[in-house]
């Protein structure tokens, strides 16, 4: 559904779980996501069966250091050519896999701005184990 929302031009954001604590030094955080902080979703892509989400920290300065970070070996020349990510800039944007996105964010906010109508879809991220 995120891909559909992105393709239709809806504004999306995601919220990291927890409460903002200004006493915490997030520079020492393992994944650089701030508790209770909202992040803008800039892009949603599927490339060679990799589902990727481009996220922006509006405060800048903090980068995701998990899979698909800007120094990740997952960024092959072919994938870089198809996605055209900004990997050299420290502008607060980063890419992550959809699975990491679901595992590190508490919810997704979608704003439909094409008409004056408001639509809300209530939902939550649920972990599902694959049966092999």
In a domain, 32, yes or no: yes
| 77 has a pLDDT exceeding 90 | yes
Identify the weakest region by mean pLDDT among 31-35, 45-49, 113-117: 113-117
Encoding tokens for residue 106?
Answer: 């508490």
Taking residues 114-130, what's their average pLDDT?
A: 65
Q: What is the per-residue pLDDT for 17?
A: 81
pLDDT value at 78 more than 90? yes
Any domain includes 131: no
52 within some domain: yes
Is there a domain that residue 125 lies in?
A: no
When divided into structural domains, the chain yields a total of: 1
First to last CA, the chain: 25
Q: What is the average pLDDT value for the chain, to the nearest integer?
A: 81
How far lies 89's CA from each of 31, 33, 71, 79, in Å?
18, 18, 11, 18
77 or 130: which carries more pLDDT confidence? 77
Edge to edge, the sheet with strand 38-47 lists 93-97, 50-56, 38-47, 11-15, 107-111
Question: Is residue 128 included in any domain, yes or no?
Answer: no
Examine residue 81 and state whether it is found in any structural domain, yes or no: yes
Range of the domain at 77: 2-111
Write down the pLDDT at residue 76. 95
Collect all residues with Cβ–Cβ distance below 8 Å to 98 and sequence separation of at least 6. 2, 51, 52, 53
Q: What is the mean pLDDT of residues 32-45?
A: 84
129 within domain boundaries: no
Q: Find the CATH number of the domain harbouring 75.
A: 3.90.70.10
């Amino acid at each position: 559904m995120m891909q559909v929302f992105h393709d239709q031009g809806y504004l999306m954001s995601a919220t990291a779980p927890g409460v903002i604590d200004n006493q915490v030094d997030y520079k020492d955080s393992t994944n650089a996501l701030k508790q209770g902080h909202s992040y803008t979703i800039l892009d949603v892509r599927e490339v060679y069966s990799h589902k990727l989400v481009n996220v922006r920290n509006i405060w800048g300065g903090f980068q995701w250091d998990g899979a698909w970070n800007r120094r990740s070996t997952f960024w092959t020349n072919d994938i870089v050519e198809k996605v055209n990510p900004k990997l050299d800039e420290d502008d607060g944007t980063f890419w992550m896999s959809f699975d990491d996105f679901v595992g590190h964010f508490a919810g997704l906010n979608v704003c439909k701005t094409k008409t004056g109508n408001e639509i809300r879809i209530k939902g939550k991220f649920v972990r599902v184990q694959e049966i092999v």
